[in-house]
Amino acid sequence: MHKDEILCLAVLPEDVSEGRRYAQLSLDYTFDRMAYGGSDEKAFRKRLEKIIMGKTCEATLVRFLRSHGIAHTTRDGQTPHTDPDRFDLRILNQIVDLKTFSVPSSVAVPERLMNCLALVPDHRERDQWSRRGKYARFVFGFLDGRLSIQRLNERARTKERRPALSDEDITFQSNSPKLFLTAAPALAESESKFHKIRRGTRCPQYPGGTRIDNMGCRVAELTSFRGFINL
């Protein structure tokens, strides 16, 4: 793909509201893929922020698809919040898995995004790479500005006594958060181009090193999302 094919979408308050709502319902039933744990407030916060970010980005993408009249559905793969979703969404009748990463504003420019890694977890048996056969395509997005939660205390770790979060409790490092949609490789393309990315690998979105093992490659090597949707 070429840098000019990267799409930049504004993240709106309504997208954040959807992410917050979903995270508060699903946190206790979501697989801790990144192994943050749940024994202290820092680990709890990281898990909650990760879930909010993912669902916020999905809501941003869905709003974009709706506004451009691109055929899609989010209902087919949904399950009750106590169970894992079967898949994120279907676009142009293809089941896709949206993978999102936060990047600092210095990285959130087309030239640098092209060098980010498109990553699919491959650390445990339950990870998406081992279950890739249920998807037709992966979509990779990068969020400008790390999401964080401002109001959270020890009581928040107790399921029965968690305080309700409001949208005002969620902030971004960027004043105007944006979602960059980059690559959207089909499954066959992913299988031919991805290679093992070992835990600790440094890349633009993980300057300190990846937390787990993944399969992936540079964004620039893959088919663009814009090309997938023929926009």
**pLDDT grade for 185, boundaries at 50, 70 and 90:** very high
Domain boundaries, the chain: 3-229
Average pLDDT, stretch 166-192?
91
pLDDT at 27: 64
Average pLDDT, stretch 14-35?
71
Q: Taking 60 as the threshold, does the pLDDT of residue 156 lie above it? A: no
Largest CA distance in the chain: 49
The 10s digit of each residue's pLDDT in 45-76 is 777 888 899 999 999 999 999 999 999 998 65
Concatenate the DSSP letters of all residues of the chain into one string: --GGG-EEEEPPHHHHHHHHHHHHHHGGGS--TT---SSSHHHHHHHHHHHHHHHHHHHHHHHHHHHTT--EESSTT---TTS--S-SEEETTEEEEEEEEEE-TTT-SHHHHTTSEEEEE-SSTTSGGGGGGG-SEEEEEEEES-EEES---GGGGSGGGPPPP-GGGEEESSSS-EEEE-B--BHHHHHHH-EEE-TT--BTTBTT--SS-EEEEEGGGS-BHHHHHT-
Q: Taking 90 as the threshold, does the pLDDT of residue 135 lie above it? A: yes
pLDDT at 115: 97
The 10s digit of each residue's pLDDT in 73-94 is 986 544 444 445 544 699 999 9
Average pLDDT, stretch 97-115?
95
Q: Which residue has the higher pLDDT, 24 or 22?
A: 22
**pLDDT grade for 22, boundaries at 50, 70 and 90:** confident
pLDDT at 74: 85
pLDDT at 57: 95
pLDDT at 124: 87
